[in-house]
Amino acid sequence: MHHRIVFALDRQGRLVDIHSVPQGLACGCVCPGCGGRLLAKQGQIRAWYFSHASGAECVSGAETALHLAAKRLILEHRSVALPPLVVNFRRLHPRFGLFERSKTVELPEKVWRLSEARAESRIGTYIADVAGHLDDRTEVIVEVKVRHEVEPEKAKYLRARRVPCIEIDLLPLLEESLTLQELAWHVLESGTNRSWVSNSAYAEIEAELLAEYQAWIARKSSDVAGVPRHQPEPPKQPSKADEANARYQALPDEMKRLELRTVLGLANGACWPRHLQVSVREGAEAIPSPIDVWQGATFVRFIYDPIGGREETKRFSLSHVYDWVSGRFGTSEPVRHQVSAALRLFLGYLAKCGFLERNGDAFSVLHGGLWPPARPEPPVHLAKPSTSARAVSKLTAVALRREWTWRERWPLEDVALLRASDATVRYAGAQFNAQLFVGMLYSMSIEPSETAVKTLVTQCGGIADAAFDLLKDIGVVEESWRMLRGGVEPPWRCT
């Protein structure tokens, strides 16, 4: 069903509510969602609302109107009440079961007074509903949720950069015929409809809860140790591995990153490898760790072997990796399926990069270096077989071809446009019309071929050779480096 539109734009583009306009078409208002003319319906029986003069069904009008009204109120008043900080902590111990705690902390700050505020403000590759500055120049963000909550990737981005952010949930108001003044109270002053997306105290409180969890494990272990002897099989003390894992989990993420960078030999300031922060489309939220940390740690544990001295090929199965990740990061049993799915996607990506050979859920390591195997560009001809026994091994890569596939989910169109405009700046010299390109790309009704994409890029004033870098920057394709091995031609080429 379509929700009732309660807020609209008048002839001057000002925001008005249904209670402050003349009845019918005389209201002179348009829909903030579709721009269509509105009628003000102010009957005796039903709650007052706007409807489209054309009789059109407008899917987004009510939501857009509420969202817009909230943002305008924040910009106008530049004062927003803050919620307490709530940290939920949940771990499933393999022997002692579920440990669940929630901590609510009253923060000294009760309200943000913004010295300036902008709507739809750019934060990295994301858009903040409202971004502003406090008097001490701290940048802060207020997100307004009606239907769409802050994406997990964006939340991680903000946490990593320590940008404080709250989210105000207005979904319950979608049915209400409020005045702007009433809405202002919900947006600016209510203490119960908002929560923190990012707050620098979060990690500290999470560490406290982790310490409680460890104390709980220790207590449970000593209880178990005190059990009478006639128990058939007295459970063991927590193993060395359990203790090491608990210590690891207690480390701040920054320490884990530093450790990984040291192991991988990444210099200060060097970029973290893209293949160790693969955004998997399923299950990542079930692993209580940032994506680069769990992927980096898994890579180090199962694949990374810079010396390359070992004779035997290293093999492992998905369930080995699951067991290790589950212990290392404390994932809980009920989300086993999600964790496995995320790991399968990540390992599949590494296989496409040429690190692994994959056979169902069994993997063998082809390449133990930090970076994917060499990518000759332009493609080299088949290397002459070397006399060295290692080099003629069946598994030696002889050539790589750059491949790409459309991502299953694309970024929102406005985000895509920002990224495309950014890319234009980087591909200097190109008279690229990002708006036209994104508009056409997002209205394609069939999957465009490689040639079609290149033609489209050219039509929009871009460089055909840069087409895939552009698509990658926009976030609509992912690339893989497919390994071609010597010896066998595909059957259809052998005729």
Return the bridge partners of 483, or none: 400
Q: Are 363 and 315 in contact (CB under 8 A)?
A: yes
Using the minimum distance from each CB to Zn ion, give the nearer residue, 53 or 266: 53
Q: Does the N-terminal peptide bond of residue 378 adopt cis geometry, omega within 30 degrees of 0?
A: yes
For Zn ion, which residue of 33, 83, 132, 372 counts as binding (CB under 5 A)? Answer: 33
Tokens of 383: 């290397």
Using the minimum distance from each CB to Zn ion, give the nearer residue, 61 or 164: 61
Backbone φ and ψ of 21, nearest 5°: -125, 160
Instruction: State the nearest-atom distance from the C-beta of 30 to Zn ion, in Å.
Output: 8
Q: Does 32 bind Zn ion (CB under 5 A)?
A: no
Q: Are 72 and 49 in contact (CB under 8 A)?
A: no
Using the minimum distance from each CB to Zn ion, give the nearer residue, 174 or 341: 174
Instruction: State the nearest-atom distance from the C-beta of 34 to Zn ion, in Å.
Output: 3
Using the minimum distance from each CB to Zn ion, give the nearer residue, 33 or 164: 33
E strand map for 10-136: 15-17, 38-41, 49-52, 79-81, 85-93, 97-105, 111-113, 116-123, 126-133
- Stretch of residues binding Zn ion (CB under 5 A), selected from 36-44, 170-178, 231-239, 445-453: 36-44
Measure the CA–CA gap between 26 and 334, rounded to whole angstroms: 58
Q: Are 255 and 249 in contact (CB under 8 A)?
A: no
Measure the CA–CA gap between 439 and 420, rounded to whole angstroms: 11
- HEC sequence for 228-291: CCCCCCCCCCCCHHHHHHHHHHHCCHHHHHHHHHHHHCCCCCCCCCHHHCCCCCCCHHHCCCCH
Using the minimum distance from each CB to Zn ion, give the nearer residue, 3 or 72: 3
Q: Are 368 and 304 in contact (CB under 8 A)?
A: yes
Instruction: State the nearest-atom distance from the C-beta of 50 to Zn ion, in Å.
Output: 9
Binders of Zn ion: how many residues, by CB under 5 A? 6
Instruction: State the nearest-atom distance from the C-beta of 192 to Zn ion, in Å.
Output: 30
Instruction: State the nearest-atom distance from the C-beta of 482 to Zn ion, in Å.
Output: 47
Instruction: State the nearest-atom distance from the C-beta of 89 to Zn ion, in Å.
Output: 43
Instruction: State the nearest-atom distance from the C-beta of 29 to Zn ion, in Å.
Output: 11
Backbone φ and ψ of 368, nearest 5°: -100, 10
- Stretch of residues binding Zn ion (CB under 5 A), selected from 30-38, 166-174, 194-202, 389-397: 30-38
Binding characters for Zn ion, 331-350, by CB under 5 A (x = yes): --------------------
- Stretch of residues binding Zn ion (CB under 5 A), selected from 28-36, 299-307, 359-367, 392-400: 28-36
Looking up tokens 């920057």, which residue turns up? 473
Crossing angle for the helix pair 336-353 and 291-302, nearest 10 degrees? 70
For Zn ion, which residue of 10, 19, 28, 34 counts as binding (CB under 5 A)? Answer: 34
Instruction: State the nearest-atom distance from the C-beta of 32 to Zn ion, in Å.
Output: 8
Instruction: State the nearest-atom distance from the C-beta of 51 to Zn ion, in Å.
Output: 9
Looking up tokens 């940048």, which residue turns up? 139
- Stretch of residues binding Zn ion (CB under 5 A), selected from 23-31, 182-190, 192-200, 245-253: 23-31
For Zn ion, which residue of 6, 29, 30, 31 counts as binding (CB under 5 A)? Answer: 31
Site for Zn ion in 50-89 (CB under 5 A): 58, 61
Using the minimum distance from each CB to Zn ion, give the nearer residue, 6 or 114: 6
In the complex, the residues that contact Zn ion under the rule CB under 5 A are 31, 33-34, 36, 58, 61
